Amino acid sequence: MSGVSIRPVTPELWDDLAGLFGPTGAYGYCWCAYFRRRAKDYTASVDAPRPERGLGNREVLERVTAEGRVPGLLAYDDGQPCGWVSLGPRSDFVRLAHSRTLRPVDPEERGVWSLVCFWMPPRRRGKGLATLLLDAAIEHARDNGARVLEAYPVDTAGGRAPTADVYTGTVALMRRAGFTCTRHPSSGRPIARLRLTG
């Protein structure tokens, strides 16, 4: 994986991101909009008839990108897109704002960014790409003024889990990168936090 480069997704890279996700928008018409939309709007888009399935989700991600708000980072190998991580200020993610299980740990805390998704084609998995994407995400968040980077990983207890279940990353991945992993105080869900500034 030494030849991998990772870039913030800007409007000129939209076609590369869309090509990586393919016609089904990655996780079954998701287009990495799950955390960017209210539950009812996301579900309506995914449950639409097949020709329109996921169209609303795609439009959300494309609009964010076109507006110049970096929705995440894209990994390239030999000039071809090969992986994705989504992150940004916590306020960018509508579902987090309305979540009963992932309320802010400290509502007064400023500068919290959220890392919400990894995606890569099956042939790219299990080769360390998620670690490279996570390292780049930490650097990107720090460089853009984040004070804390927060993630919502899955605890596989050292075992394996279906890929579709661990799109937010795993507790083990976060711990290796220096995150402190605890249980959310109100819901008991795993939450990983990395302080980026003093």
* CATH assignment at residue 9: 3.40.630.30
* Residue range of the domain that includes 162: 4-195
Whole-model pTM: value is 0.94
Q: Say how many domains are in the chain.
A: 1
103-126: pLDDT as tens digits: 888 888 899 999 999 999 888 887
Q: CA-to-CA distance for 10 and 17, rounded, in angstroms?
A: 10
8-state DSSP, 24: T
Q: What are the CA-CA distances from residue 107 to residues 47, 78, 90, 110, 145 (Å)?
A: 33, 43, 11, 8, 18
63-80: pLDDT as tens digits: 999 999 999 999 999 999
Interstrand relation of 80-89 and 112-119 (parallel, antiparallel or unpaired): antiparallel
Q: CA-to-CA distance for 85 and 138, rounded, in angstroms?
A: 11
Ranges of the chain with pLDDT below 70:
1-2, 198
Q: What percent of the chain has pLDDT over 70?
A: 98
> And the tokens for 17?
């991101």
